[in-house]
A and B are shown apart, each in its own frame.
Chain A
Amino acid sequence: MNVDVESLGAVSRTAREGGERAARNLTGMTGIETTVEVSKVTLASADDLASDARRVGVATDFEGGMDGASLLTVSPEGVETLSEILLPGDGVEEDAVSEVGNVVTSGFIDEWADHLGTTIDHSPPRYVEGTGEQLLDAAGFDRDRAFVFRTEVGAVGESLDVEFHLLPDRDSLREMLGDGEIPVEKLTTLKQMARTGAETTSESVSAMTGIDTRVDISDLSFVPVEDVPGELSDREYVGVVLEFDGLPGGYIVILFDEASAREVVVALVPGADSVEEFDETARSAVEELGNVMTSSFVDGWANVLDATIDISTPRFVHDMGSAVAESVVARLGRTQANAVLFDATLRADDREFDCEIYALPDETELRAMLDELEPGETAERTTKSGSL
């Protein structure tokens, strides 16, 4: 199956509109103000979707203009919120979730049917609960699907988070996406290379700061350029923006939540017991960490291609996540309408730690890179010392 980034960006728009329609349905039903927090088309990987956290929800099969399955889930806290609003009383959680699942799923599916100018029939929702893997099995996720449409809807002022996964089958995807130039297998290789880069980055953070980090989430997704800022949270972050130039070129944004940024500065700067302000020394430490992290991330790509990727000096940022992304998108949007977005989250097991990494390659150069790439290649970085 071959795809192109433009088609993926176009279906991503429809997925977001479906999310907005579903959010309106949810608001109409519960009276809670809701927003679409995440909406993206990601390259499917059962490992990425199979979280250990337990959730409850509904699975639905659909057929017609598009065939496949969907899975809508809510956290246990969200179930309590829904039960209190919709059906106060004991033992009604299943009914509350099923009701919401039915209405919200319809919002997504209806948008797709309208977009495709056809009808899509869906089965009555089946109540499901369990870990991510159990839920995916319940939804009939066959591990052979190429792309997943993922949307997260959040509530304003209430503990309610709704995750929706649309899992079209391969034939439906082929019809939707047409026949592009990029084999899906190469995207899978790219995703694996990016994952390896994120793991090397995590090792570098651990080595520099002594904070034992791991890659918690890594996604390769396809979104319209103007939607990229929406993928970043509106929390205040501290980090760096770097430009890389080569095959491919693009941007890397590395963001620490403020508490984690203070922690890395204390770990990096000798004699620093606490950080009140991000002064010049603190900024320099964050910039250097970002510099090393970026090299860790892209060096493996360069080595696979026997090429070089030059990295700019880092630009320190301290702002809302979406505002940081706006500055990158303003430049990237001059030459492309859709973006390939790799994002990874680094966390630590023994403390609160949050570092978000976003890589936004130039689409044309990425296509050239994919032409050079052999499926199954792995990215490794030269990390040692010695004489030359």
Chain B
Amino acid sequence: MAKNVLIVDDSEFMRNLLREILEEEFEISGEAENGVEAVELYQEHRPDLVMMDIVMPIRDGIEATSDIKEENPDSNIIMCTSIGQEEKMKAAIKAGADGYITKPFQKPSVMDAIEDVVSA
């Protein structure tokens, strides 16, 4: 099971919410507000899991996923997004995402998504 999680979302509210959901089970290794910060923090902490938003300023989550996967194909990345468009999901798969969860979500669905990815 993953131990360290990197949370990536431009919304402070959503980062707080994810931290609340995850911190009982995981260590939060960092929080990033955009794709550039996400890649930097990934390189610094090498977390077991990344919870990645898609729509963010500066560099979006699909681009950041692609960067991280290029560097470490074994990384675990879950797209954690409000977007429920099939074509966007295909783009996320192409970038290397391992799982996804659409907002709004509750703790059980977040944990299920993590379980699915980690046990795959």
A interface residue numbers (CB < 8 A to B): 204, 207-208, 268-270, 280-281, 284-285, 287-288, 291-292, 294-296, 299, 302-303, 306-313, 381-388
Contacts and interface: CB of A to CB of B under 8 A. Distances in A.
A316 to B, nearest CB: 11
A387 B70 CA distance: 19
Nearest to A299: B84
Contacts of B117: 387
Contacts of B79: 388
B84 A381 contact: yes
21 contacts: A204-B103, A208-B104, A284-B12, A288-B14, A291-B103, A292-B103, A295-B82, A296-B82, A303-B87, A308-B91, A310-B55, A313-B10, A382-B86, A382-B102, A385-B99, A387-B99, A387-B117, A388-B93, A388-B97, A388-B99, A388-B100
B5 to A, nearest CB: 16
Most central of A204, A288, A302, A306 by chain B CB within 10 Å: A288
A367 B53 CA distance: 31
A208 B106 CA distance: 9
Interface residues of B, number: 40
B104 A291 contact: no
Given A313-B56, A385-B112, A302 B102 contact: no
Contacts of A270: 16, 20
A299 B83 contact: yes
B36 interface: no
Contacts of A306: 86-87
A310 to B, nearest CB: 7
Contact of B104 (A280, A292, A382, A384): A292
B11 interface: yes
Contact of B89 (A207, A287, A307, A382): A382
A287 B13 CA distance: 9
Given A204-B104, A207-B104, A387-B117, A280 B12 contact: yes
Given A295-B82, A311-B55, A387 B120 contact: yes
Contacts of B93: 388
